[in-house]
């Protein structure tokens, strides 16, 4: 069992989870993830590592289904049933490049260790975070520390530029030299940005979130088609070249258990609240 040091709602539905772990930090690298199970009946789900030190690891997640709702109800001192990692292949490293980093939703948190690494490798880091409205944006100050510039985009214009992130990107890459685009967020965001940068032929790295079970390469549920080849998200990824990903396939595979997920959540809520 793994003791919860902190669980905090950063903005509505997005939480920071800090869990005791004396071992994961040793080999942890930006872009890797952990697998967690909230309790003995829980699913194994992958969460991006957002920070780590000698005693703990931190993750940011969005509350969507039963598993994340269970995680969201954890308090300091509670126990997680499973915490294993670090897993996956670390983010590709660059030097002296202009990198545009885009994060949405839980991906804003997931950007944190990546831009820290990019910055320490002497890249120019432009960070873009997006949400529907200003009250859903978080960690601006943390991200600014490692960004040469930070842009906020809200659909309703309550913070930063108003509009959609893809419109901003088109505008940005026309005016600036960008060597690499890096995206963390929901499948739709990673897809959207990949399609936006495709005509400009800018290398675009996306952090994907296919369904996983063991997350060590054993079950193959996380398979993604990249450049016509089958890759396993958990060991070959979770980051891939966004211009090579078969998005239709990934989007449909994300939905395999949609009905079960809804049912599970209502079952959990009934059990919990009657």
Partner 1 sequence: MAKKIIPKKTPMREQPAKERIRNYDEVPYGYSEQEAIQEAARCLQCRKPTCVQGCPVEIDIPRFIDFIAKGDFPSAIKRLKEKNVLPAVCGRVCPQEDQCEKLCVLAKKFEPVAIGRLERFAADWEAQRGETSIPTKPRPTGKKVAIIGAGPGGLTVAGDLVSAGHAVTIFEALHRPGGVLVYGIPEFRLPKAIVYGEVDYLVKCGVQLVLDFVVGKTATIDQLLEEYNAVYIGTGAGLPWFMNIPGEQLNGVYSANEYLTRANLMKAYLFPEYDTPIVRGKRVAVIGGGNVAMDCARTALRLGADEVHIVYRRSHKEMPARDEEIHHAEQEGVIFDILTLPVKYIGDERSWVTHMECLKMKLGEPDSSGRRRPVPIEGSNFIAPVDTVVCAIGQSPNPLIPQTTPDLKVGKWGNIEVDPKTGKTSKKGCWAGGDVVRGGATVILAMGDGRIAARSIHEYLTTGKW
Question: Exactly one of 18, 19, 24, 131 binds partner 1 (CB under 8 A); which one?
Answer: 24
**C-alpha to C-alpha distance for 125 and 104, rounded to whole angstroms:** 17
Residue 37 sits in the site that holds partner 1 (CB under 8 A): yes
Q: What is the dihedral of CA 101, 104, 110, 112, to 10 degrees?
A: 50
Residues binding partner 1: number (CB under 8 A): 45
Question: Exactly one of 85, 103, 104, 109 binds partner 1 (CB under 8 A); which one?
Answer: 85
Question: Exactly one of 64, 81, 170, 173 binds partner 1 (CB under 8 A); which one?
Answer: 81
Which span (40-48, 91-99, 107-115, 164-172) binds partner 1, by CB under 8 A? 40-48
For helices 187-197 and 165-175, give the axis angle rounded to 10 degrees. 30
Q: How far are the Cα atoms of 102, 152, 186, 242, 268 from residue 131, in angstroms, in the given order?
A: 11, 8, 12, 21, 29
Q: Is the peptide bond before 238 cis (omega within 30 degrees of 0)?
A: yes
Site residues (CB under 8 A) for partner 1, limited to 245-274: 246, 248-249, 252-253, 255-257, 260-261, 263-264, 267-268
Q: How far are the Cα atoms of 130, 160, 193 from residue 133, in angstroms, in the given order?
A: 8, 10, 19
The least distance separating partner 1 from the CB of residue 77, rounded to whole angstroms, comes to 20
Question: Exactly one of 4, 19, 31, 43 binds partner 1 (CB under 8 A); which one?
Answer: 43
Contact of 84 with 21, CB cutoff 8 Å: no
Residue 42 sits in the site that holds partner 1 (CB under 8 A): yes
Question: Exactly one of 7, 44, 151, 243 binds partner 1 (CB under 8 A); which one?
Answer: 44
| Annotation: binding site | 219, 222, 234
The least distance separating partner 1 from the CB of residue 224, rounded to whole angstroms, comes to 9
């Amino acid at each position: 069992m793994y003791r919860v040091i902190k669980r905090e709602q950063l903005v509505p539905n997005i939480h920071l989870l800090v869990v005791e772990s004396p071992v994961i930090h040793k080999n942890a690298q930006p872009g890797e993830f952990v697998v967690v199970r909230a309790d003995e009946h829980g699913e194994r789900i992958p969460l991006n590592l957002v920070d780590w030190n000698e005693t703990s690891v931190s993750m940011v997640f969005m509350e969507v289904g039963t598993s994340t709702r269970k995680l969201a109800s954890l308090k300091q001192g509670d126990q997680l049933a499973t915490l294993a990692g670090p897993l996956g292949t670390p983010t590709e490293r660059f030097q002296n490049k202009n990198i545009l980093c885009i994060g949405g939703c839980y991906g804003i948190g997931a950007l944190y260790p990546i831009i820290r690494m990019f910055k320490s490798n002497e890249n120019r880091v432009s960070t873009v975070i997006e949400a529907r409205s200003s009250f859903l944006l978080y960690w601006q100050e943390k991200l600014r520390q490692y960004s040469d510039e930070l842009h906020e985009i809200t659909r309703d214009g309550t913070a930063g530029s108003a509009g959609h992130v893809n419109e901003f990107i088109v505008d940005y890459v026309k005016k600036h030299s960008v060597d690499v685009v890096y995206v963390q967020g929901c499948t739709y965001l990673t897809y959207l940005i990949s399609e936006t940068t495709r005509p400009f032929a800018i290398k675009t790295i996306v952090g994907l979130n296919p369904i996983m079970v063991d997350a060590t390469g054993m079950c193959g549920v996380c398979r993604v088609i990249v450049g016509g080849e089958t890759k396993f998200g958990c060991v070959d990824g979770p980051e891939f070249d966004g211009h090579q990903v078969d998005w239709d396939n990934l989007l449909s595979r994300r939905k395999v258990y949609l009905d079960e997920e809804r049912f599970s959540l209502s079952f959990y809520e009934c059990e919990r609240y009657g």
